[in-house]
Amino acid sequence: MMDAAKPETMAPRVTVIIPSWDGHRNGCVPRLLESVEKQTFRDYDVRLVKGVSPQGKAINQGAAEARGEILIILDDDSRLADDTVFETLVRVLDEDASVGMAGASIVLPPESNAFQRRAALQFPRFNTPVVDAVTDSDLACHGCCAMRAEIFHAVGREREDIIRGLDPDLRVRLRRAGYRVVLAPNARIYHPLPENWHKLLRMFFRNGFGSAYAQKFQPDSVYETHEELSDQSFQPRTTLAFRVLRFPMRLVRAVFSGQFLRFGAYMAYGAGYVWGYFTAREDAVGRGVKSLNQS
């Protein structure tokens, strides 16, 4: 736990929650905190929640300790891309009571290598369009998002029993409660992409394993995630049969469009899914499969 910008005796307007297994993340957390300290919006404190897994449980612990009326959640490997992110997120919530979650766009870090730059072109969620107006979108996520604390608690907080899929689950519950999920205009964060083939394939294998776990033991938590900014249908459910049939079509599309990183990632995801379907055990959360949310 760490406080910033407000004396302990005064309640801040915003509480920043950063779930992090070790509080360092190979140097990412210190860089994130440095970018937080540069924010023009100063009425906040910080809750760095360490050693708690899965991620939903860590966020809930931070929210339980929060003194602010607004919660800003940051992934521990994110970094704020400009000094006005907090100011923008708070303004969006203040100006429209129908907004339940305001998120920031994820953009390519300037220090990215050639592999990461190629990946950013092939994976929309790795390089989110920056919008110039409040925009309803499935691209708002836990990388950086703001919510009123009372709304967060009213919709049931984060699920603590899932190891993957926090973003779509919370978006669905907010929309069902009548709230909008939006990207805030010109709010940007950096989020590192996998640096090479090994890390890309490892990440998608983990994601596939996590999806299989959810399908086996928590099918109610399996939702669609819309990758395109312009897709406003927000259809949360599709059948398993539809997803299975869609998978080879995605592989073919990736090959014919020359998106070979995407093809490899899909293959790794499929392998992870098959492995998870046959080997995942229901006590995975209790045994601390933290890497699916902390890596």
For 205, the token pair is 């294998």
Provide the pLDDT for residue 234: 61
Cα radius of gyration (the chain): 18
Could you tell me which of 126, 149, 160, 192 has the C-alpha nearest to residue 47?
Answer: 149
The first and second tokens of residue 200, run together, are 């890309």
Residue 248 has a pLDDT of 84
For the residues 239-254, what does the mean pLDDT come to?
80
Q: CA 123 → CA 5, 108, 117, 139, 146, distances in Å?
A: 36, 11, 10, 12, 24
pLDDT single digits (tens) 193-230: 899 999 999 999 998 998 888 888 878 776 666 666 55
The string of pLDDT tens digits covering residues 28-72 is: 999 999 999 999 999 999 999 999 988 999 999 999 999 999 999
Query: Lowest-pLDDT range, 17-26, 100-109, 244-253?
Result: 244-253
**Intra-chain end-to-end CA distance of the chain, in Å:** 21
| H-helix segments, 101-239 | 114-122, 149-154, 166-176, 197-217
Number of H helices and number of E strands within the chain?
10, 8
Report the alpha-carbon distance of residue 84 to residue 237 in Å, rounded: 35
* E strand intervals along the chain: 14-20, 44-50, 70-74, 79-80, 99-107, 135-136, 144-148, 180-190
User: pLDDT of 140-155, one tens digit each?
Assistant: 999 999 999 999 999 9
| Residue 154, token pair as written in the block | 């009213």
Domains in the chain with CATH codes: 14-190 (3.90.550.10), 197-294 (no CATH)
As a whole number of angstroms, the distance between CA 144 and CA 17 comes to: 10
pLDDT score for 42: 97
Per-residue b or e along 133-147, where b marks 16 or more CB atoms closer than 10 Å to that residue's CB: ebbebbbbbbbbbbb
The tens digit of pLDDT for each residue in 89-138 reads 999 999 999 999 999 999 999 999 999 999 999 987 788 889 999 999 98
Q: What is the pTM of this model?
A: 0.86
Residue of higher predicted confidence among 59 and 251: 59
Instruction: Kindly state the tokens that stand for 185.
Output: 């205009």
Cβ–Cβ < 8 Å for 102, 92: yes
Q: Please give the Cα distance from 71 to 14 (Å, whole number).
A: 6
